[in-house]
Amino acid sequence: MTGVTVALFQELESDMEGRIIEAEANRLKRTKRQRAEGGGRTPELTMRNQLLLSVIWLRRYPTHEVLGYLFGVSDSTVSRIKDRLLPLLAASGRDTMRMPDPGRKHRRTLDELLGETPELAVIIDTFEQRVQRHRDPQTADKYYSGKKKQHTLKSQVAIDECTGLFVDVSASVPGPTADITLLKQSQLLERLPPGVGALGDLGYV
């Protein structure tokens, strides 16, 4: 998905780590602070994943929604990460992997990313994310997952067997939804390119 080798990404990570830490320290020391130090948001992604998110943006220009699904964060978090890291990459001359920006109206969707990275097989799996309990008991019951013992949303992901990269993420559904039901609703199998197979666990039988 990035077109960047593991070795090159590790080199980039090593070079940028100190710059990112320094920039964050300077931000926290700014004169007009809204909060006491340590009182802001807790980072939702590791530094490595923030850097990976930025590289995927520069190479593929997906929508913020797509990046949010891929990394399990909100659109606003994607925007904050980009606003912090892209200027650092540019200032250090480490954004040379940048591809031409197609513009806001031409950001890539999940289906487009899937079509651009066809492989022999994708691995399908689901994960659940905890959500706040709804005030209405009947609505809350729809989201209570007996497996997780909490209220959750479930999402389905498809992973490239060769590279380990995400190629598709479904819309979220209530946690108790069966894996096979979500698979059918997503129509992922119908959207796979010809010749591409799918692998899953017993939850899809």
Q: Tens digits of per-residue pLDDT, 28-52?
A: 777 555 555 555 555 578 888 899 8
Distance (Å) of CA 48 to CA 14, 76, 91, 113: 10, 19, 19, 22
Phi and psi, residue 151, nearest 5°: -85, 130
Considering the entire predicted model, what is its pTM? 0.51
The type of residue at 191 is: R
Are 193 and 118 contacting, i.e. CB atoms less than 8 angstroms apart?
yes
Are 126 and 179 contacting, i.e. CB atoms less than 8 angstroms apart?
yes
110 pLDDT above the threshold of 70: no
* Pairing assessment for the beta strands 166-169 and 197-199 based on DSSP bridges: unpaired
Q: Which residues pair with 150 in a beta bridge?
A: 145
Residue 80: per-residue pLDDT: 92
